[in-house]
A and B are shown apart, each in its own frame.
Chain A
Amino acid sequence: MFTNKDLSIYVHVPFCARKCLYCDFLSFQAEKELISSYFEALSKEIRSYADTYKDYTVKSVFFGGGTPSLPDAEYICDILKLLHSEFNITEDAEITTELNPGTASFDKLKAYRAAGINRLSIGAQSFDDKELKTLGRIHDSAAFYKTYEDAQRAGFTNINIDLMSALPDQTLESYHSTLKKAVELKPSHISAYSLIVEEGTPFFDMDLDLPDEDTDRLMYHETKRILEEGGYHRYEISNYAYGDGEKNECYHNKVYWERGNYLGLGLGSSSMIDNVRFSNITDIMEYIKRLSDSESVVEEREELSEKACMEEFMFLGLRLVKGVDADLFYRQFGQKLEDVYAGPLIKYETLGLIERVGNNLRLTEKGFDVSNTVMAEFCF
C-alpha cells in the first residue's frame, strides 16, 4: 500500500505534567527552560534531515509523547510549520497529535487546528474516576468531556480515544460502562489496550489487585462486541475505526504494521527507512548538546537482513485483522510464505490459531489472545 518514496514522520515530545504509575514511555516533568531548549534542538534535528529526504512524500505526521499538549501551542505549531517547509507533506496528510485531558485549552486546540493538525488522539483511558486516580492520571472524567467538547468546537472531526482494560480494581461492569460512554461520543477511532505492568514502573513494585487472565480476555472480547455494536470495526489487535471502510483507520499506525518508511524525530524516537532501523539517544541533555554542536543524535542503526525483514513482515502484519498478504510476501522476498514458514503454519493452523482467507493469512480470534506465542514462531 505504500510506495518506497512515501514517508511518515513521528515527533516525540517527552514532557508530562506528572508521570503515570504504569507508564513505561520516555517521558518526564521538565522546567520551561528545558522545554524551550528541547524544541530548539528538535528544530535543528529536523533541518539536518531536509536534504536527505527531499525525494520522499510525507503522508502522515504524528506528535506523540509524553504529552505533546503540555507545552505551549506555539511549540507544536512551529515544529509543524518547519516540517512543512523542510519536507514535502501532502495536502491530505494525516496529522495527529496526542492530547491529555486537562492540558489542552480550547485556544490551544484552535491553534492546533489552524496549524493544520487534523486528528487528535486523546488519552481518556477510563471513564471511572477511581480508576483514573489509581492509574495516577491528572484528569477525571469531567475534564475529559470538557476537552472532547472543546476539540469538536475547535473543528476536529477525526478523534481517537485511548482506553485501557485490565486495570487494578477494574471490574467487568466498570469497563462496560467506560466502553459505552466512549461509544456514545461516536469518536472516529478507539484504541483499547490491555494494561501490561512493565518492570521499572511504580506499578511493578505495587501490590495490585489486577483482573485475572480470564477476566482480562473477557474484557478484550467484550471490547470487540460492544464496539462492533456501536458501529466500529476492529482492524488491528487493539484498534477500532468507526464505519466500515479504511477511512477512519489510523494511517500512521498502519505504516508501522505494514513496514512503510517512517522517520522518528526527537528524543529516543525510532525510524525505519528503506529497511534500515535506527533510533535516537534517550538522554535529553546529551540530545540538546549534540544538536547544538551539530552532531548526529542517532545511536543505534541496524540494516535489516532479508530474514529480519521477513520476520517483521510476519509479526507486524499479523497484528492486523486482515493479516498478511502471501502474494505481497512473494513479491517482496521472491520466496513463498508457505515454504519459508511451513512449520509454524502447519502447527498453528492445526491448533486453530491462524487461518487463510483468500491470499491472506491471519490470526483467528483465539490466535489474537495468544498472539505473542504465534508471532514468536515466525522469528528465525
Chain B
Amino acid sequence: MDQSKIRNFCIVAHIDHGKSTLADRMIEKTGVLTMREMTSQVLDNMDIERERGITIKSQAVRMIYKAQDGEEYTFNMIDTPGHVDFGYEVSRSLAACDGAILVVDATQGVEAQTLANVYMALDHDLDVFPVINKIDLPSAQPDEVKEEIEDVIGIEAHDAPLISAKNGIGIEEVLEAVVHKIPAPTGDPNKPLTALIFDSIYDSYRGVIVFVRIRDGVIKKGMKVRFMATGAEAEVVEVGYFGPGRFIPSDDLSAGDVGYFTASIKNIQDTRVGDTVTDSANPCAEALPGYKKVMPMVYCGLYPADSAHYSDLRDALEKLQLNDASLFYEPETSQALGFGFRAGFLGLLHLEVIQERLEREYDLNLVTTAPGVVYKVHKNDGTVFDLTNPTNLPDPTEIDYMEEPIVSGEIMVTTEYVGAIMQLCQERRGKYLSTDYIEQTRAILKYELPLNEIIYDFFDALKSRSRGYASFDYELKGYERSELVKLDILINREEVDALSFIVHKDGAYERGRKMCERLKEEIPRHLFEIPIQAAVGGKIIARETVKAYRKDVLAKCYGGDITRKKKLLEKQKEGKKKMRQIGNVEVPQAAFLSVLKLDSGD
C-alpha cells in the first residue's frame, strides 16, 4: 500500500468530551459500516465501558476515506483511554500513531486531563490538531475555547473544526483535517521486519491476537517471527486489519500499517506489549524503544470467594495481564482469606476495572482487600524494603522509620470552590504549593499529597465538594518520611489480617472508629454477639458491637404454600454463601472494602 495514503492517529480528550461519539461518526462517514451495524459506540465494545461511559482498552479500527482530492486514504484510528489512571495505556497507543486529534468540549474548555493527554501526545512527537465539539449546545463558547487552547496548551486552534459529534455536524471537515494535518507514516517496506506490539488480547478460539504497528518491512502468513524481548518464536497464522468490531484478514501488513496477527503462540507470557516483533530469518538490528515502564501505585489482595477457584483466578489474571502490562500480581496467602494474589494497579479506578472484568468476563466471585500504597520501611539494621501488604510490617521495635509516596497534584477548579477544595486537601494532609489563575473564573491549585490519602475516595470527595467542577491530575513525586502505624481490626476477638491497613498516626483513632462503625453496618447479626475492635500495636482504640439477633421466625405458612416459604429459606441460605467465614463469623465480601467508604459521609 502507498504509505502516503495512510494516516495513523488517535483521539485524545478529557472524559465526557465526546471522543467515542466522534470516533463513531467518523466510522459512519467513511462508510466502512452500515448504519445497521453501528452499535451506539462501536469502539467501546466492552460492557463495563458502556456502563461507565469510559474507554478502558485500547482498540484500533481501520477505515477507508475518499478525500476531496479524489484519493482514497486508509485511516487507522487507535482508541485511547481517557482516565488519568490509564496513562500507561495511552502511552502505548500513542506509540502506534503519527498524529492525534484533540477533542475539546465547547462548553467546558480545557480540563486537567486534556492537558495531561496532549502533553503525552506531544511527548511521543505526534502532530496534534484540535476540534471543538458540542458547538450545538446553547452554552457553547467556541471562540473562548479556541483562545484557551492556544493560551493554555500552546497549539494552533484558529482553524479548528467546529463540530457536534452527536448531531454529525462538521465530521467531513475533521476527516479532511486528518488527511492534511496528520503526517503519513515513514518506514521502509524493504528493510527487515520491525513491528511494535501496542496491544494484544486473548481469544479462546484463536489464542493470542497481537496488535502491531509496522515500522519497517512486511509481515505475512507463514512467516516465522521472533519476539525480541522474550526471544520466543512463532509462525504467523493470520494477519489482517481492524474492522469495526471485528477482524478482517489480509495478505500482509507492510511498513506504516496498523493491524493484527495471530501465531502459534504457546505461552501467553511470550507476547509483551511494548515488545518488538521481527523476522526470525532476517531480524532487524535493534528493538524499538519500548514504552515507559510504569510502576503500580496501589496494591490490594485479590482472593476467590470460594477457595476452590484459586486457579481460575490465576488464569484470568494471566490473560488480563496480556493486554494490560501495567497489571502486576504475585501469589500471597491470608489467614482469613486463604490463597490469593497481591495485585498492583495504576490507581483505584484501574483496580475497580480489573476487579469488574474478573467478575464479569471471567465469572469470578472475588474478595478484595483494602487497597494500599507502597511504603518504604527502614529497619534498625539499616535495610530498606518495599511494603505492599500491611500484614508484612515488622514489629515496631525493628523499624527505624517509614516513608510514604507523595504525589504532586494539580486540581483545576472554578474559583467559587477553591475554598472547599483547599479544605479537602488540608484534611488529606496536603501541602499547599500555589494557585494559578488560568482565566478569571478558573484556577489550578497545586498541592503535594500523600498517595494513601487520595487512593480511596478523593475523586468522589473532590466532585461532591465542587459540584462536579473540579478535575484532578497527579504524578508521583517521591517518598517522604512519615509517622505511620498499622491499624488492625479484630472481629469476635480474632485479628483479621485482610482488614489491616497502614495509616498516619494522627488519623489512626478516627479511621479505626469509622472502620468499626462501618463493619458494624456490614456484618449481619449472628446468633451471638460480635465485638468489632480496632487496635494499634495491640492496644484497642475503638470498639463496636454487632448485637445478637433474638428472632428469626416465619410465622404463618398459609394454605400449604410451602414453595414460597422454601424460597425464603433458600434466599437466606444463598445470602450466606456470599459471606466469608472468619472464625464463627460470616463476613460479607463488601466488608473487606469498607475502608474505602470511610469518608463518604462528608
Contacts and interface: CB of A to CB of B under 8 A. Distances in A.
Interface string A4-22: 0000001010000000000
Interface of B: prevailing SS: helix
B137 interface: no
B553 A368 contact: yes
A315 B560 contact: no
Nearest to B576: A376
Interface stretch (A50-58, A137-145, A209-217, A334-342): A209-217
Contacts of A353: 527
A316 B562 contact: yes
Contact of A271 (B552, B560, B576): B560
A104 interface: no
A270 B559 contact: yes
Interface string B77-119: 0000000000000000000000000000000000000000000
Given A256-B562, A311-B566, A217 B527 contact: no
A318 to B, nearest CB: 11
B308 interface: no
A373 B527 contact: yes
B550 A238 contact: no
B530 to A, nearest CB: 14
A367 B532 CA distance: 25
Contacts of B570: 376, 379
B559 A217 contact: no
A312 B566 contact: yes
A371 B553 contact: yes
Contacts of B556: 193, 196, 238
A373 B561 contact: no
B381 to A, nearest CB: 48
A64 interface: yes
Contacts of B35: none
A369 B551 contact: yes
Given A312-B566, A315-B569, A369-B550, A25 B558 contact: yes
A281 to B, nearest CB: 14
B329 to A, nearest CB: 34
Which of A214, A262, A279 has the most chain B CB atoms closer than 10 A to its own CB?
A279
B560 A372 contact: no
Nearest to A256: B560
A185 interface: no
Interface string B516-554: 000000000001000000000000000000000111111
A135 B405 CA distance: 63
Contacts of B552: 369-373
Contacts of A195: 555
Interface residues on B, range: 20 to 34
B557 interface: yes
Interface in A339-372: 351, 353, 368-372
Contacts of A369: 550-553
Interface of A: prevailing SS: mixed
B110 to A, nearest CB: 50
Given A376-B572, A377-B573, A237 B560 contact: no
B34 interface: no
A173 interface: no
A92 to B, nearest CB: 22
B563 interface: yes
A237 B557 CA distance: 11
Interface residues on A, range: 35 or more
A279 B553 contact: no
A237 to B, nearest CB: 7
A295 B66 CA distance: 66
A194 B555 contact: yes
Given A237-B555, A369-B553, A372-B553, A270 B563 contact: yes
B550 A312 contact: no
Given A238-B555, A370-B552, A371-B553, A379 B563 contact: no
B573 A264 contact: no
A113 interface: no
B529 to A, nearest CB: 13
A353 B528 CA distance: 12
A322 interface: no
A214 B563 CA distance: 29
Contacts of B560: 10, 255-256, 262, 264, 269-272
A279 B561 contact: yes
Given A370-B527, A371-B552, A372-B572, A379 B566 contact: yes
A43 B501 CA distance: 70
A312 B562 contact: yes
Interface string A208-252: 000001101100100000000000000001100000000000000
A80 interface: no
B555 A193 contact: yes
B563 A351 contact: no
Given A264-B560, A270-B559, A213 B551 contact: yes
A300 B566 contact: no
A368 B555 CA distance: 11
Contact of B569 (A214, A270, A375): A375
B116 to A, nearest CB: 49
A302 interface: yes
Contacts of A270: 559-563
Contacts of A279: 561, 563
A279 B563 CA distance: 9
A302 B563 contact: yes
Q: Which A-B residue pairs are the 9 nearest by beta carbons?
A: A376-B572, A193-B555, A372-B552, A370-B552, A376-B573, A376-B569, A270-B561, A213-B550, A270-B560
Interface of B: 527, 549-563, 565-566, 568-570, 572-573, 576
18 contacts: A25-B559, A193-B555, A213-B551, A220-B553, A237-B555, A255-B560, A256-B557, A269-B560, A312-B562, A312-B566, A316-B562, A371-B554, A372-B552, A372-B553, A377-B573, A379-B566, A379-B570, A379-B573
Given A12-B559, A311-B566, 4 more contacts: A237-B555, A256-B560, A277-B562, A376-B570
